[in-house]
Amino acid sequence: MSVLPREAVRLGLAAESKEDAILAAGRILEELGAVEPGYAEAMLERERGMSTSVGEGFAIPHGTDESRSLIKTTALSFAQFPSGVDWPEDRVYVCIGIAARDDSHMEILASLATILMEPEQARQLREAQDPEVVLSVLAALEQPTPEQSQPNEEANHQERTASLPG
């Protein structure tokens, strides 16, 4: 499964509150089969402890460390709210939900930060009317996670020895 499959991209949603927006992002992950029921509530628990708003109209909700047992596979959800949702720090237009079985959520967060620092890419995501636009902008996130591919030790050895002098 792709980290962000097309069916995880939902455009044109509405939410009355940040809690509704976070639950929508969590339900998408549940519908994908990436998480067990209860993960969306863990996303709300994380939000109560620390805001997931990252500015520029984006929030990146994810569960607590304790909720990792509810994650079946690493996945993202993309929930766009064209009218916006009030967060204490910002008005959010896109929630990108993260479910990561291991520490890959840090890599995903770093990649998202890089993408969102580009104003044009952030605008395209906020205003997208076609899931293909979202998938194209977020294509950099589609790197294999440790659970999707194991390193080839022989290839790594050959790479290391090829760079040795002599």
Annotated catalytic sites, by residue? Answer: 62
DSSP the chain: --SS-GGGEE-S---SSHHHHHHHHHHHHHHHTSB-TTHHHHHHHHHHHS--EEETTEE--B--GGGGGGBSS-EEEEEEEEEEEE-SSSEEEEEEEEE-SSTHHHHHHHHHHHHHTSHHHHHHHHH--SHHHHHHHGGGG-PPPTTT----HHHHHHHHHHTS--
Token reading at 148: 């999707």
Query: Whole-angstrom Cα distance, residue 144 to residue 40?
Result: 24
Half-sphere exposure of 141 (CA within 13 A, CB side): 29
